[in-house]
Structure 1
């Protein structure tokens, strides 16, 4: 394991992995506990279309994909606030349309020579310096956002009516959270994959909630589990020559299954 650290691509993978782990774990409780976890999955499908569009229009796909997905996240947020469309339906509508557009662009796009499989499962070992910089940037933005608005976000998560009564701008914070989630998803899709990135957002809070009922401890335990699992995923996947994203999700699932099985035994 120590010998692997001498390789630059492993070093880059660790930096990106830890940045994404921290970002996902911080976003997790605000999305999962507020029953908005599927927005991550929806935005992952949207990011597929955004990256395809970016590849066809620009030398750096993220330049196009980031604003594209952020606009989609704001549209989902807006549609979910209407009385005629609920949140899950809004996510389903926008993500399905965007994914369909992405598939059409792949079929009709001239000179498209990137493997669709690589976009679906990602590859953190081939990440570029741009990916690393963006991973760090999105982490800084998310950490700063949560530190500044921690109490307000906490109230929004557990009681939106009381948050509104307390004169918290729930709508603005909701849009900001959706935008940051979109930014995280786009950056993560390149390394973890379209099909798997949402798992990074969902698992930390689900795992932490098996061990604690405290909101603060949920965040802390989510961060710890996320950092450990992603590091293990990187060091297990490389020697076995298997996808890192898939390895991380399987490790998360094993940990969660273990907690579900053994937690009742400790109560006896």
Structure 2
């Protein structure tokens, strides 16, 4: 079993899995606590537009997805800040628009031969060295921002009205959380794909809630669970030659079920 570690693509996959897990644990905790899972799902799927545009223009796919996801996050934040009751309609519109843009630009790409399935469902074994560098930069940025603004993010996440009374710019930090979520989504594309990314953000946090009583603890424990899910899914994917993204999520659901059954007993 250990001989697979000799391969460069396995080493890249393992490193990518750990990097993604750190981001997923931190941002997943914020997504769950702020109850913005659906908003994050909209950002994830709309970022497909950035993938299509990047393919058409010959740009790095993750770069295109990042720019489009960031723009989408800001637009969704602006539109939902004063229209929370219509947030589902706004997100649905952005979701469909992004997917449509991506499909159109892919269709317009001459000599197109990129496997889009790897972006929809993930292919962590196909991660390149450039992807590793990109994920590392995103991880460092996410960690630094959360550390620097931790108190403000904590206040906004648990009691936005109280935070507003204390003079905290709740609109800015609400937008910031969505922006960080969009970056995490992009980082996780290679691992589990756009379709399954929300599961990687929410399942580890759902488990971490049972073992933590502070947001910082939840982030750390969630990152550990995400690492376990990602690495075990990677092993299953390699052994049985099946999709890495689906393997990671199946592993997460199975472990979640076992832990909940054990805790109940």
Q: TM-score range by the shorter chain?
A: over 0.9
Which residue of the partner structure matches residue 48 of structure 2?
A: 48
Native 8 Å contact 1:212 1:218 kept in 2: yes
Q: 1:230 to 1:84 in 2, by over 3 A?
A: closer
Q: 1:234 Cα deviation (Å)?
A: 1.5
Structure 2, unaligned runs of 5 or more: none
Provide the C-alpha distance between the structure 1 equivalents of 2:19 and 2:80, rounded to a whole number of angstroms. 29
Provide the C-alpha distance between the structure 1 equivalents of 2:75 and 2:18, rounded to a whole number of angstroms. 30
- SS at structure 2 position matched to 1:209: helix
TM-score between the two structures when normalised by the length of structure 1: 0.92
Deviations 1:179-201 (A, max 9, x none): 22212212321332121122111
Native 8 Å contact 1:52 1:106 kept in 2: yes
- SS at structure 1 position matched to 2:113: coil
Which residue of the partner structure matches residue 20 of structure 1?
A: 20
Q: 1:78 Cα deviation (Å)?
A: 0.8
TM-score between the two structures when normalised by the length of structure 2: 0.93
Deviations 1:20-71 (A, max 9, x none): 0000100111111111012332122112121111001124223332211110
Provide the C-alpha distance between the structure 1 equivalents of 2:72 and 2:64, rounded to a whole number of angstroms. 13
Q: 1:138 to 1:263 in 2, by over 3 A?
A: same
Provide the C-alpha distance between the structure 2 equivalents of 1:225 and 1:64, rounded to a whole number of angstroms. 29
Provide the C-alpha distance between the structure 2 equivalents of 1:198 and 1:84, rounded to a whole number of angstroms. 21
Provide the C-alpha distance between the structure 2 equivalents of 1:152 and 1:215, rounded to a whole number of angstroms. 12
Aligned-residue RMSD, C-alpha:
1.8
Structure 1, unaligned runs of 5 or more: none
Native 8 Å contact 1:47 1:189 kept in 2: no
Alignment of 1:103 with 2:103, yes or no, is: yes
Q: 1:84 Cα deviation (Å)?
A: 6.9
